[in-house]
């Protein structure tokens, strides 16, 4: 049995460029006795920055993804020592949610054009630069009504959503329990 694996080609300051290769799957017994490959065991995850600094467990796999990774999560990913492995795993296993500072749609583009941290950051940068307003005018109006997904509008929307979540959680905590 073979599997597509990713190998490092070149290391850069921002990450490592990788290339897909066909490699045999190494199967070992999993926690429940089933076989699993080295790719999907995620043994590296305990080293991930999000494992210890995660703001919310469900923030990484939201019900509906934003067009770009929220800046708080993206900053955690940028500092992660295993970001390349995370990106490779997310692409190979077709994971949903925010992985390695990318969205599911980002990874679909990367899978078609070349998987690398440098390419992921460039894709995010190009999407963030497509503001529909003058610099400094980004807010939730532009985000919600005009569909702008630049850094300013995304940050404003993320802040509002965080405040709404905090308010809902506070109200839920204050309700008397039957």
Determine the Cα–Cα distance for residues 161 and 139; give it in Å rounded to an integer.
13
Determine the Cα–Cα distance for residues 51 and 45; give it in Å rounded to an integer.
7
Alpha helices for 5-139 (secondary structure H): 38-41, 50-53, 71-78, 83-92, 104-113, 117-128
To the question of pTM greater than 0.85 for the whole model, the response is no
Domain assignments of the chain as residue spans, ordered by start:
45-129
Determine contact, residues 127/149, Cβ cutoff 8 Å. yes
Q: Is the pLDDT of residue 158 over 80?
A: yes
Range from 9-13, 54-58, 70-74 carrying the lowest mean pLDDT:
9-13
Provide the β-strand partners of residue 2: 24
Q: How confident is the model at residue 154 (pLDDT cuts 50, 70, 90)?
A: confident
User: Which tops the pLDDT comparison, 175 or 91?
Assistant: 91
Backbone angles phi, psi at 94, to 5 degrees: 50, 50
Q: Which helix (H) or strand (E) holds 99?
A: none
């Amino acid at each position: 049995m073979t599997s597509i694996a990713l190998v490092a080609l070149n290391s850069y300051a921002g990450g490592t460029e990788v290339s897909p290769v066909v490699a045999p799957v190494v199967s070992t017994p999993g926690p429940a006795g089933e076989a699993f490959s080295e790719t999907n065991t995620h043994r590296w995850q305990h080293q991930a920055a999000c494992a210890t600094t995660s703001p919310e467990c469900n923030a990484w796999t939201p019900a509906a993804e934003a067009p770009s990774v929220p800046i708080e999560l993206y900053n955690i990913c940028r500092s992660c020592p295993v970001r390349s492995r995370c990106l490779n795993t997310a692409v190979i296993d077709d994971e949903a949610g925010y992985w390695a500072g990318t969205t599911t749609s980002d990874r679909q583009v990367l899978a078609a054009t070349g998987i690398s941290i440098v390419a992921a950051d460039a894709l995010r940068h190009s999407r963030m630069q497509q503001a529909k307003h003058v610099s400094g005018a980004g807010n939730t109006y532009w985000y919600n009504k005009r569909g702008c997904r630049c850094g300013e509008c995304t940050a404003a929307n993320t802040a509002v959503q965080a405040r709404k979540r905090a308010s809902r959680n506070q109200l839920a905590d204050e309700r008397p329990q039957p």
